[in-house]
A and B are shown apart, each in its own frame.
Chain A
Amino acid sequence: DIDDVGHKYYLELELEDVLDKDRPVTCTAEVLYPLGSKASAADVQVTVQGELRSTEEADKEFYDRIRSLEKELVAENIPDSHGKVPPELEPIHLLAWAASGYVIWQNSTENTHFHLAQVQHVKQVKRSDEDLQFDFVLLLHEMVSQEVLPWELSVLWQPGRGARVCRCQGPGAGS
């Protein structure tokens, strides 16, 4: 407890790459949840001890594939009702997963527990620069209230640069 500021948590974490399960990476983090009803994202400092694997080849393949599409990519319900993801949409699913991390971070408190439930909709937006842009509608499930709510956000990405959220809209703010 930090008086007049909030609650600070010191964490030791193990990061598991779902696509590379046998090599977990240790991290440490400090998370400060601010006091007060004003909705404000937790302050997070992370240190990754160890190396994350390189995805250079797969990134390039995906990038080239999307750039060469005649029509902008549009897709819905990833995974579908039965839990299936078509293989060519798997990278979009993973990108959505990363993007959901941003929304979850922005909206989490000590009393919420969010997960990405489904990608309701994704639309590629053509750009003149090097970035790929995807506009998502993500369904987030919050465990305590049991709400499943749609969050809109746009993500920019290109190989070698992390995913960046460029606009964020959604119902209400905070918990």
Chain B
Amino acid sequence: MWALLVLIGAASVSAHLQELSFDGQKVFRVLPQNDEQVEILNFLASIMEVDFWQPDSVTLVRPKMQVDFRVEADKSFEVEDLLKESGMEYQVLIDNLQAAMDAQFDSKARTASHSYEKYNNWDTIAAWTADIAARNPDLVSRSVIGETYEGRPMYLLKMGKSGPNKKAIFMDCGFHAREWISPAFCQWFVKEAVETYGKDSVMTKLLDKLDFYVLPVVNIDGYVYTWTNDRMWRKTRSKNAGSICIGTDPNRNMDAGWCTLGASKSPCAPTYCGSAPESEKETKALADFIREHLSTIKGYLTIHSYSQLLLFPYSYTYDLPANYEELNSIAKAASKELASLHNTKYTYGPGANTIYPAAGGSDDWVYDQGIKYAFTFELRDTGRHGFLLPESQIKPTCEETLLAVKYIANYVLEHLY
């Protein structure tokens, strides 16, 4: 008798031990509409192990109740088939429970905690991208578009309610390492999107009808370097053949009038254009992604600092783009929106005339690919703090910039091509 109990005990212990990894396990959210559909859930719970997260048990399930439950990895396909067949409304809340848990532990254990009103280091931002996607699966998904020179994954967040044939807007931050307010803005944008979806009518419309690709930091290696070694670093961290000097200016490295004006052929210069267009892994990854999604991307925004400018093509020539009048009036209106919040004055215009001629920029390259709404933002301030913008200004800067970005996104939505 005792031997039998011990055996059963041992068996259940080993069964539990197998459960310690949650790899591949899925969490479903379903909305049973009627008694029939409730019965399906009862049936499911009778033929396999179903861990109900809400409500606590299958016996509490009622029609019109939101039900969340976890199933084992090898059962998840069966479950999904069953739900599809039944016609019950469902979504996969967590696609891989182990991954979601790892992300959560990452952001607490290894790194400083994330704040939208502070400058976050790369590890914190990386963990945040996993976390924000795991917590908002119906609005955010994360992918990797490439690797930096030093081998770091380039995370991209795709934002928007899933739907067929959606067009998209691409926004990147952190081209230049020392411009810390830039990645802060991309994080802020993502936060606003997930927090105000369903509450703010403009944001809801934008996310319903468009997708936003947000690349929170392009030049990750450079950004890390500004945290560990040199706060004033600008370029990438790639080695240059035949020189002791490191790095290429990623915003002189794109294939747009490459290295003709406003860029340097010297590897030691902060505006070094690189050994060839897209010589940098980071710019190549960005360009590849945009080329692959050219038919869906209809607007492009790239965020820099400082100077309080809203620029559009061209910077590699003084020639004006074909839709100059249109771009100018968008910039004028977006600047007005921005100023409406804290009276922050922006100057706008084509790059070459407004800031300086500079070839190899991402906005020009994207524009020449056919994305006719391409803008570069230079955020606060105008030189008093420059790159060292105090953290107390993160919130007001991001809030005002968001108004301009929403204006531009909405314009693109209403003028799809």
Contacts and interface: CB of A to CB of B under 8 A. Distances in A.
Interface of A: 18, 77, 79-84, 115-118, 139, 141, 143-148
A82 B390 contact: yes
A83 B391 contact: yes
Nearest to A142: B270
Given A118-B232, A148-B232, A141 B387 contact: yes
B389 interface: yes
Nearest to A117: B386
B391 A82 contact: yes
Nearest to A141: B386
Contacts of B31: none
Nearest to B383: A115
B271 A145 contact: yes
Q: Interface residues of A: mostly helix, strand, loop or mixed?
A: loop
B388 A79 contact: yes
A117 B387 contact: yes
A33 B93 CA distance: 66
Q: Interface residues of B: mostly helix, strand, loop or mixed?
A: loop
Contacts of B237: none
Contacts, number: 55
A116 B232 CA distance: 12
In the A-B complex, the 6 residue pairs with the smallest Cβ-Cβ separation, listed nearest first, are A83-B390, A115-B383, A146-B270, A148-B232, A83-B388, A79-B388
B231 interface: yes
A160 to B, nearest CB: 27
A118 B356 contact: no
Contacts of A145: 269-271
B357 to A, nearest CB: 10
A115 B386 contact: yes
Given A79-B385, A146-B270, A118 B234 contact: no
A81 B388 contact: yes
B119 interface: yes
B384 interface: yes
Given A146-B270, A146-B271, A139 B391 contact: no
B187 to A, nearest CB: 15
B226 to A, nearest CB: 8
